[in-house]
A and B are shown apart, each in its own frame.
Chain A
Amino acid sequence: MTTEQSRIRNFAIIAHIDHGKSTLADRLIQTCGGLTEREMKEQVLDSMELERERGITIKAQTVRLTHKAPDGEDYQLNLMDTPGHVDFAYEVSRSLAACEGSLLIVDATQGVEAQTLANVYQAIENNHEIIPVINKIDLPAADVERVKRQIEDVIGIDASDAIEVSAKTGIGIDALLEAIVTRLPPPVGEREAPLKALLVDSWYDAYLGVVILLRVVDGVLRAKEKLYFMNTKTTYDADHVGVFTPKLVKTGQLSAGEMGYLTCGIKSITETSIGDTITHERNRCAEKLSGFKPSVPMVFCSMFPVDSSEYDKLRDSLGKLALNDSSLHFEPENSTALGLGFRCGFLGLLHMEIIQERLEREFDLDLIPTAPSVVYHVYTNKGEKIALYNPADMPDPVYIERIEEPWIKATILVPDDYLGGILQLCQERRGEQLDLTYVGGRAMAVYRLPLNEVVFDFYDRLKSVSRGYASFDYELDGYKEDDLVRMGILVNAEPVDALAMIVHRTQAEKRGRHLCERLKDLIPRQMFKIAIQAAIGGKIIARETLSALRKDVTAKCYGGDISRKRKLLDKQKKGKKKMRQYGNVEIPQSAFIAALKMGDE
C-alpha cells in the first residue's frame, strides 16, 4: 500500500530540554494508535535507559503515524524526535534535512531558550514550514501571551496562530494534528524518477545488524533490490524495508516522500556514511544529495580503568558504544601514571558525561577520567603544526613558536535580573562581547569565548549565577593564538599527568591555587606530610601541604560485634583498591574526579 505524496507529512520536533518534546511525541503516537495501551511506556521514543532516566533525547528517532483527518482521508505522518541539547546539534541538522516542516515546542512557563533558537534557525535554513506549539498550558504558571510575544520578538516568526497544548493532559492534540495536515507541505519528490534516498542515520542492532534510517526523495525502494551507496561506492542487496511505528514493521517498499528503515547485511556502522545517497545499482540517479558535514569532536578527555586488568574490557566497551555513536572517537593512550587507557573525543561535555556514565553503568567499569580539554594547534619553531589532544603531550616550551586555541561564538539568553553575573562570568573567561540585545525582560548576549574556558565548568557556573534560568548555545569560531601554558600538578614532587592542563597564563596561578586547595581536601591524610604543588615548567606557582595522619581509630569496639568492624575494614580495603599510587602517595579515584569537576567559588 503506498500513500499518495499529498497525504504524507514529514516533520521534526524542535524544543529545549524539559519543554516536553518527548511527552508530546508520545502523546501523538498514542492518539494515532501507534502503540497499544500496554506498549505505551512513558517516553517511548527515548529508548536508551539513560535517555529515559535523564529525560533527554540523545539519538534522533522516527515514527510513522496514521491519522484519520476530518476530511475522511488517512494521512501518513512521519515524526522525527530530535535531541534538544547543543552537543547533539549535529543529529538535529540531519533530522531537519529529512523533513519539510517542524513543530517548535515552547514551554508556556519557561519561554524561548538559546538551544531552541539555534535549532529553529537550522529549520529555517532548511526551508521548513514551522508551527509554533505552546506546551504545558495546563500549568498554573503558564503565560501563553508572553511566550507568543517572545517567539515573535526573539525568533521573529509569527506566533498568532500558535497551537496551545498540554502534552500531559492531551488538551489541543487534535488541533495540532489538524495543523500538521493543513499547514505543513507534503513532500515533492518524483515517484517515477530513479531512486534517490538520504541516509539519515544508522545504528547497530544485535539481531538485524546495521539498521539504516532513510528518507526516500525520488523513486521507490523495494526489498531484494540491488542498491548502490554513492559516497562509499559500495553495493548491497536490500534485505528488509519497512517503517517504525515505532516498532520495526516490514512494508517491503518505501516510495518518494516516505521515511523508513533498510537493512542490507551491513555488519558495522563504520561501513555506512551518514548523509550518503542511496540509489539503484542499475538505474542510478544523476546527482547525489549534498549530504552533511561530518561531526567533529570538540572536547577530549582520557579514560583509564581503575583496575588495569580491565583495559581490554574498556576497549571492547568503547567499541560497542561506538557501534551506535559515530561521533565517539577513541584511541589508545599510555600514561606513565595512569597506565593504559584511551584518549576519547566527544561532541561536547554532556556527550562526554553520558559516555562515562554508560561505561560505568552498562559495562560496570570503574574509570579515572582526566580533565576535559580541547584541541590546540601547536606550531614548533621548526615550522611543524601539531594538533595537541592531550596536555601531557605538549612539547617542551623551548621548541614552541606559538599555540592557538579554538574559540566559539556563544549565544546566551537570560532574564535581565541575572545579566550582570553572566557578563562578569564571560569576562572572567576571556570573553569578547559581540552583541547584547534586550527583548521582553530577557537579554541575549553574544560572546566570543575560548572553548577551553567553556569545557572547564562554564555551564555549571552559568546555571548557578542565573539560578538555572540562562540557556546557552555555541558554534565553533576558528582558532586564535594566545599565551597558553601547560600547568602540571606535583604530589610530593611526583607529576600527576592526569591533572595536567593547558591554561592561559593569566589564569594559571588562580587555577593552580584552587586545584591545590581542592586536592588538599580530597586526598586523605597519610603516613607522612604531603606537598601538593602546581607548576609551569620548573616554576612552582602554588603550594599546599597536607599534614600527616594523626588519629583515625574508632573509640569503641561495639561489644562483641566484630563483624561490623570487619565489614568496615573490607570497605576501606576496597576503597584502597581505587587508589592510585604516585611515588608513595595514594590518591583516591574520587579525588581525581572531584578535582576536575571543580568550580571557582
Chain B
Amino acid sequence: MVQRLKTLESVAFPAPGFGIYVHWPFCLAKCPYCDFNSHVQDDVDHARWRGALVREIAHYAETLPHKQTVTSIFFGGGTPSLMVPETVAAVIATVRAHFPVAEDVEITLEANPTSTEAARFKGYAEAGVSRVSLGVQSLRDVELKFLGRQHSAKEALAALDLARQHFTRSSFDLIYARPGQTVADWRAELAEALSYAGGHLSLYQLTIEKGTPFYTLYQRGEMPIPSDDEAAALYEETRDQAAKHGYDAYEVSNYARAGEESRHNLVYWRYGDYLGIGPGAHGRITIDGKKYATRAHRAPQIWLERVEKHGHGAHEDTQLSCEDRAAEMLLMGLRLAEPLSLTRLETAAGGAEVLNWQEIRKAEAAGWLTVTEAALQTTEAGRLRLEYLLSHIIL
C-alpha cells in the first residue's frame, strides 16, 4: 500500500532529475539589458579554460559521496557558442566518465544566432549537444539594434534553420514588453516567431536590472516600459497566441509543446539538485539529507586560478535552513503550471511551519491558487502576481 502511494505520488509529481550547469562567462559585447555574469575578453586561452572546467567537474565527482544520475547538462553564459567544440566535448566526456548519465540525457547549449557561431553547430552536435537555445530576442532589426544584439533577423532565421538540421530539439528566446511596443506589434512578431518555433519558446518580458545601461536610462526617465496593466495585457496576448499554436505556458515565461519542456530548467523549478560549474555558477547539492547552496567566484580570472590551485572555484558553500529550503521550493515551484507536492514541501521544511494558511485561503478565494490535500498549484492569475502571492503565503 505504502509502495503504491509512493508510485502514485511519483506519477502526479515527476522526479526533478539532476542537472549540471556549465557557465561560459565571455561575450563579444555586453547587451544593455543583461546583468548576468558576462565579460568581454578577446584572448581567451581555450585549452586552459577547458582544463579548468573539466577539473572542477572531476573535483565535485570525487567529493560527492553519492552520485545521482545526470538527466541534463546545460551550457549557459555569457555566450557558450563562443566555446570551441573541443571544450564542449571534453566537458560532456568528463561528466560521462564520472557520473551515471541517463539514456535520454538532455544536453543544451545557448547560442547566439550570428553566422560565425552557427558555423560551429556541427561541431557541437558531434560533441554530444542535443538541443540548442538561441538568443534571437526579436525578429525586428530595429529592436535587435535597441537590444544591443550582434545579429539581424535574417541571420537569426538562418541560424534557426541550421540548428534544426543539427539538433533534435531547439528553442529560442524573445524579449517583449519593450518600450513603445503595442499589443498589435507584438501579436504580429509573435505569430511569425511561432511559425518558426521548434517545440519550445522562452518569451521574457523586458526586465530592467540594476547596474545595466537600461537601468540608467530608466532612472533618467528615458525608458518608457509598459505599466503593469499593459504588461498584463501583453502577457495575456502571448498566452493566447501560444496556445493557438499548441504551446502551453508550462512556466511563467516558458512555452512548449507537450514533452518539449526544458528538462534542465525543470530541475531548478522542481527544486532538484544541480551542480554549478564555471565562474559565478550556482549549485544546489543534497548530502546526507542536508541541502547546500554553492556559488563559484564570479571573476573569471580568480575562478580560473582557484580551480587550478584547489580543484574548485567555490566562493560560498552554505547549508540551507529548513525554512530556506521550503521557501526556495515554493518560489521556484509555483512558477510552474504543474502542482507542487505538499509532501515534498513538508520534507524540505523538515517539520518547520512555512505556510500561512490564512493567506492561502484568501488566494484560493481570489482564484490565484488551487489547493488540494496533496498539492498547491498556481492559476495563471496567481502566476502573474507571484511576488505578491509568495510574500503573503510564506511565513
Total B residues in contact with A, Cβ cutoff 8 Å: 44
A551 proximity list for chain B (CB < 8 A): 228-229, 231-232, 235, 384-385
A560 within 8 A of B: yes
A552 within 8 A of B: yes
A559-B282, A560-B282, A563-B282 known; A527+B388 contact, CB < 8 A: yes
Q: Which stretch from B6-14, B188-196, B327-335 is at the chain A interface? A: B327-335
Contact between chains at B295 and A549 (CB < 8 Å): no
Contact between chains at B383 and A565 (CB < 8 Å): no
Closest Cβ neighbor of A528 among chain B residues: B366
A566 within 8 A of B: yes
Closest Cβ neighbor of A568 among chain B residues: B387
B327 proximity list for chain A (CB < 8 A): 566, 569
A565 proximity list for chain B (CB < 8 A): 328, 331-332
CA distance A271 to B284 in the complex (A): 64
A282 proximity list for chain B (CB < 8 A): none
Contact between chains at B228 and A525 (CB < 8 Å): yes
B61 proximity list for chain A (CB < 8 A): none
A576 within 8 A of B: yes
B250 within 8 A of A: no
B388 proximity list for chain A (CB < 8 A): 526-527, 549, 552
**B residues 316-339 touching A (CB-CB < 8 Å):** 324, 327-328, 331-332, 335
B21 within 8 A of A: yes
A290 within 8 A of B: no
How far does the Cβ of A559 sit from chain B's closest Cβ, in whole Å?
6
Contact of A566 among B229, B252, B331, B384 (CB under 8 A): B331
Contact of A550 among B232, B282, B324, B386 (CB under 8 A): B232
A549-B388, A551-B228, A552-B385 known; A561+B282 contact, CB < 8 A: yes
CA distance A105 to B362 in the complex (A): 64
B253 proximity list for chain A (CB < 8 A): 555-556
Contact of B362 among A527, A560, A569, A573 (CB under 8 A): A527
A559-B76, A560-B281 known; A552+B332 contact, CB < 8 A: no
A557 within 8 A of B: yes
A576 proximity list for chain B (CB < 8 A): 391-392
B332 proximity list for chain A (CB < 8 A): 557, 562, 565
Closest Cβ neighbor of A564 among chain B residues: B282
CA distance A528 to B295 in the complex (A): 40
B276 within 8 A of A: yes
B182 within 8 A of A: no
B276 proximity list for chain A (CB < 8 A): 560
Closest Cβ neighbor of A574 among chain B residues: B391
A507 within 8 A of B: no
How far does the Cβ of A442 sit from chain B's closest Cβ, in whole Å?
37
B303 within 8 A of A: no
Closest Cβ neighbor of A547 among chain B residues: B229
Contact of B229 among A550, A556, A557, A563 (CB under 8 A): A550
B113 within 8 A of A: no
A553 within 8 A of B: yes
A572 within 8 A of B: yes
A558 proximity list for chain B (CB < 8 A): 36
A2 within 8 A of B: no
Contact between chains at B324 and A566 (CB < 8 Å): yes
B232 proximity list for chain A (CB < 8 A): 550-551
Contact of A552 among B206, B366, B386 (CB under 8 A): B386
How far does the Cβ of A569 sit from chain B's closest Cβ, in whole Å?
6
B205 proximity list for chain A (CB < 8 A): 555
CA distance A6 to B75 in the complex (A): 89
Contact between chains at B391 and A562 (CB < 8 Å): no
Contact between chains at B394 and A573 (CB < 8 Å): yes
Contact between chains at B385 and A553 (CB < 8 Å): yes
Contact between chains at A549 and B281 (CB < 8 Å): no
Contact of A569 among B206, B335, B391 (CB under 8 A): B391
B293 within 8 A of A: yes
CA distance A13 to B56 in the complex (A): 71
A36 within 8 A of B: no
Contact between chains at A556 and B204 (CB < 8 Å): yes
Closest Cβ neighbor of B318 among chain A residues: A563
A437 within 8 A of B: no
A557 proximity list for chain B (CB < 8 A): 252, 268-269, 332, 335
B392 proximity list for chain A (CB < 8 A): 576
A553 proximity list for chain B (CB < 8 A): 252, 335, 383-387
Contact between chains at B385 and A569 (CB < 8 Å): no
Contact between chains at A552 and B387 (CB < 8 Å): yes
A554 within 8 A of B: yes
Closest Cβ neighbor of B324 among chain A residues: A566
Closest Cβ neighbor of B367 among chain A residues: A527
Contact between chains at B282 and A555 (CB < 8 Å): no
CA distance A527 to B369 in the complex (A): 13
A552-B387, A569-B327 known; A562+B284 contact, CB < 8 A: yes
CA distance A566 to B333 in the complex (A): 13
Closest Cβ neighbor of A586 among chain B residues: B392
Closest Cβ neighbor of A526 among chain B residues: B388
B172 within 8 A of A: no
How far does the Cβ of B324 sit from chain A's closest Cβ, in whole Å?
6
Contact between chains at B391 and A560 (CB < 8 Å): no
Contact between chains at A550 and B228 (CB < 8 Å): yes
Residue among B328, B368, B383, B385 with the highest chain A CB neighbour number at 10 A: B385
How far does the Cβ of A30 sit from chain B's closest Cβ, in whole Å?
44
Q: Mark A523-539, 1 if CB is under 8 A from B, else 0.
A: 00111100000000000
B300 within 8 A of A: no
B390 within 8 A of A: yes
CA distance A563 to B271 in the complex (A): 12
B214 within 8 A of A: no
Contact between chains at A573 and B391 (CB < 8 Å): yes
How far does the Cβ of A308 sit from chain B's closest Cβ, in whole Å?
18
CA distance A572 to B274 in the complex (A): 27
B116 within 8 A of A: no
Contact between chains at B331 and A560 (CB < 8 Å): no
A560-B21, A561-B282, A566-B331 known; A527+B390 contact, CB < 8 A: no
Closest Cβ neighbor of B327 among chain A residues: A566
CA distance A486 to B204 in the complex (A): 50
Residue among B21, B391, B394 with the highest chain A CB neighbour number at 10 A: B391
How far does the Cβ of A246 sit from chain B's closest Cβ, in whole Å?
45
Closest Cβ neighbor of B204 among chain A residues: A555
A572 proximity list for chain B (CB < 8 A): 387, 390-391
Residue among A552, A556, A560, A563 with the highest chain B CB neighbour number at 10 A: A560
| 18 other A-B residue contacts (CB within 8 Å) besides A551-B384, A556-B204 | A549-B228, A550-B231, A550-B385, A551-B229, A551-B235, A552-B388, A558-B36, A559-B36, A559-B268, A559-B281, A559-B282, A560-B274, A560-B282, A560-B284, A562-B284, A562-B331, A569-B331, A572-B391
The 10 lowest CB-CB distance pairs between A and B, nearest first, are: A572-B391, A550-B232, A553-B386, A551-B232, A555-B204, A560-B282, A552-B387, A555-B205, A551-B384, A561-B282
- 19 A–B contacts from the bound complex (CB under 8 Å): A527-B366, A549-B388, A551-B228, A551-B229, A556-B204, A557-B252, A557-B269, A559-B76, A560-B21, A560-B276, A560-B284, A563-B293, A565-B332, A569-B390, A569-B394, A572-B390, A572-B391, A573-B394, A575-B391
